[in-house]
Amino acid sequence: MVDRKNPKAYQTRRITFSACHRLHSPFLDDAENEKVYGKCNHINGHGHNYIVKVTLFGEIDPKTGMILNMTELKKYMEQAIMKPMDHKNLDKDVEYFKSRPSTTENLTVFIWTQMKDIMENPELLYEVEIYETENNIVRYRGE
């Protein structure tokens, strides 16, 4: 069997969190907001059970057999995702969304930035994927 030198792999951990929000842009007036976002612009807001998958890409350490201990990744995700967003009103409780709409696209960028700030080896971060609903999915890779 060929012994591969420094093999690399992808490692993913999944979590879920619940939050409410309203799609509303500070860059649009009320009529435009209603036209663009429709029912999702309703003043009372609505909730989601978001599923987030964070993927790392890196070398498998030959001594430990891991890219990063999943326990470490879990801690980072608790800090970057659960703490600021679980059971929160995204638009009112999260500073980042006071100046931009809480779309799933913007959520991926927020989580990416949070993870980069917290991780000891941020270069391992490869992708943040969010299922807002089972049909609405956004992926972000830092571009």
Catalytic residues: 40, 87, 132
Site string for ligand LPXRUNBV, 92-111 (x = CB under 6 A): -----------xxx------
Distance CA 21, CA 101 (A): 9
Picking from 133, 130, 18, 131, the residue whose alpha carbon sits closest to that of residue 141 is: 130
46 in a known ligand binding site: yes
To ligand LPXRUNBV, the closest distance from the beta carbon of 107 in angstroms equals: 7
Site string for ligand LPXRUNBV, 23-42 (x = CB under 6 A): x----------------x--
48 in a known ligand binding site: yes
CB 33 within 8 A of CB 24: yes
Three-state SS at 115:
helix
Task: Supply the DSSP symbol for 38.
Answer: G
Site string for ligand LPXRUNBV, 109-138 (x = CB under 6 A): -----------------------xx-xx--
Output the CA angle 38-48-127, nearest 5 degrees. Answer: 100
- Per the structure block, which two tokens stand in for 130? 């969010």
Interface with ligand LPXRUNBV by CB under 6 A: which residues?
Answer: 23, 40, 46, 103-105, 132-133, 135-136
